[in-house]
Amino acid sequence: MSTTPVRPVVVGLDGSRVGLAAADWAAHEALLRGVPLRLVHAWEQLIVPYASLAGVAIPPDPKRSARLLTDARARLSRRHPGLEVITDRIPGDPATALVTAGTDGELLVLGSRGPGRAAGFLLGSVARKVVARAEGPVVLVRAAGTGKPEEESQEPAAGGSAGGDVVVGVDLDSPDDTVFAFAFEAAARRGTALRVVHGRGPEDGPTDGAGLAGTDSVTAPLGDVLRPWQEKFPGVPVTAQAAIGQAGAHLVDASTDAALLVVGRTVRQGALGAHIGPVTDAVLRHAVSPVAVIPPT
């Protein structure tokens, strides 16, 4: 009788403290899911531009790459006894390597450093490409602190509130079952509530001073969408909020005390590359908590 292979939580490492924060978060997630953790370091050859060595490919230092993974595995094993940790070095373009590695895992975790609401996450080109191209969920985690390198913890911890709710952003015009499934399962694993936020227009009804609406006429459509999921996850308390105005701004506000923020992804191709959608982009730039981006089904 054949058995289904266990799919790990995959995390990309680059040697930074932000990467270690992502690895810490990924380790907790792997324990919650009861699966191994796979540490991946992707590297590519450097092409020297100098005239005397024009076009010469300089291979990366394999010892440094191996040491990075060995040190990270030892650190995580000390912090999380019993967690199975796998390491893997993958040559090639980092974004492509991470996307490929993510297809073999339950989710892919990456680090993202950001100074907060004013300037937003420093979402690098690799992370942006991965988020736009990944076939499975991608979680962006930032290090503790203000985001300034000199103020980040030497032993970084993931952002957000460990005991907070899971928050999910919903588009009622095109609700995605994959987003709901990920959000409800995340809340069930953590034994916490799920807060559901969706944007709406001002013509849909009155709001309070914060731009939130809670009348039956406004929340009824959302309740209809949520009902089958609440029946499937009866142990998950659910709070529904209809928010007027920019949905991204309300989700960013909700992230301040959230354990995890879950959003969908809509990718369209433009002249400058793939766009992940304005709401998801705003959340990735400004949210405080870890953010899970779920690709469309």
The radius of gyration computed from the CA coordinates of the chain, to the nearest angstrom, equals 20
Of 111, 135, 159, the residue that ends a domain is 159
Q: Are 293 and 261 in a shared domain?
A: yes
Of 118, 144, 159, the residue that ends a domain is 159
Predicted local distance difference test score (pLDDT) of residue 117: 40
Q: Are 124 and 257 in a shared domain?
A: no
- pLDDT of 281 strictly over 80: yes
Of 106, 134, 159, the residue that ends a domain is 159
pLDDT digits (tens, 9 = 90+) for 73-84: 999 999 999 999
Q: Are 168 and 79 in a shared domain?
A: no
Beta bridge partners of 87: 39
* pTM of the shown model: 0.83
CATH code of the domain containing 19: 3.40.50.620
Do the domain assignments include residue 279? yes
- pLDDT of 214 strictly over 60: no
pLDDT digits (tens, 9 = 90+) for 106-143: 999 999 865 444 344 446 778 888 999 999 999 999 87
Do the domain assignments include residue 52? no
Do the domain assignments include residue 196? yes
Q: Are 128 and 184 in a shared domain?
A: no
Mean pLDDT, range 83-106, rounded to an integer: 93
* Among 66, 67, 82, 68, CA closest to 27: 82
Q: Are 107 and 198 in a shared domain?
A: no
Predicted local distance difference test score (pLDDT) of residue 63: 78
Cα separation, 87 vs 41, in Å, equals 8
How sure is the predictor about 266, in pLDDT bands with cuts at 50, 70 and 90? confident
How sure is the predictor about 42, in pLDDT bands with cuts at 50, 70 and 90? confident
Q: Are 296 and 218 in a shared domain?
A: yes
Query: What would the DSSP string read from start to end of the chain?
Result: ---PPPPPEEEE--SSHHHHHHHHHHHHHHHHHT--EEEEEEE--EEE-SGGGTTEEE---HHHHHHHHHHHHHHHHHHSTT--EEEEEEES-HHHHHHHHHHTSSEEEEE-B---TTT--B--HHHHHHHHH-SS-EEEE-BSSSS-GGGS-SS--BSS-TTSEEEEEE-TTS--HHHHHHHHHHHHHHT--EEEEEEE-GGG----TTSEE--HHHHHHHHHHHHHHHHH-TTS-EEEEEEES-HHHHHHHHGGGEEEEEEE---EEETTEEE--HHHHHHHHH-SS-EEEE---
How sure is the predictor about 270, in pLDDT bands with cuts at 50, 70 and 90? low
Dihedral (CA of 69, 72, 76, 78) sign: positive
Q: Are 239 and 258 in a shared domain?
A: yes
Q: Are 79 and 109 in a shared domain?
A: yes
Q: Are 128 and 250 in a shared domain?
A: no
Residue range of the domain that includes 145? 1-47+57-159
Our count of domains for the chain comes to: 2
Do the domain assignments include residue 295? yes
Do the domain assignments include residue 251? yes
Mean pLDDT, range 198-204, rounded to an integer: 60
CA 136 to chain centre: 11
Structure tokens at 57: 């490919």
Q: Are 133 and 245 in a shared domain?
A: no
Cα distances from 279 to residues 82, 249, 254, 276, in angstroms, run: 38, 8, 14, 8
Predicted local distance difference test score (pLDDT) of residue 279: 87
Residue whose entry in the numeric block shows the structure tokens 């790459």: 65
Burial bucket for residue 271 (CB in 10 Å: 0-12, 13-18, 19+): exposed
Q: Are 104 and 190 in a shared domain?
A: no
Predicted local distance difference test score (pLDDT) of residue 274: 57
Predicted local distance difference test score (pLDDT) of residue 155: 46
Q: What are the phi and psi torsion angles at 228 (to 5°)?
A: -65, -30
- pLDDT of 218 strictly over 90: no
Q: Are 184 and 139 in a shared domain?
A: no
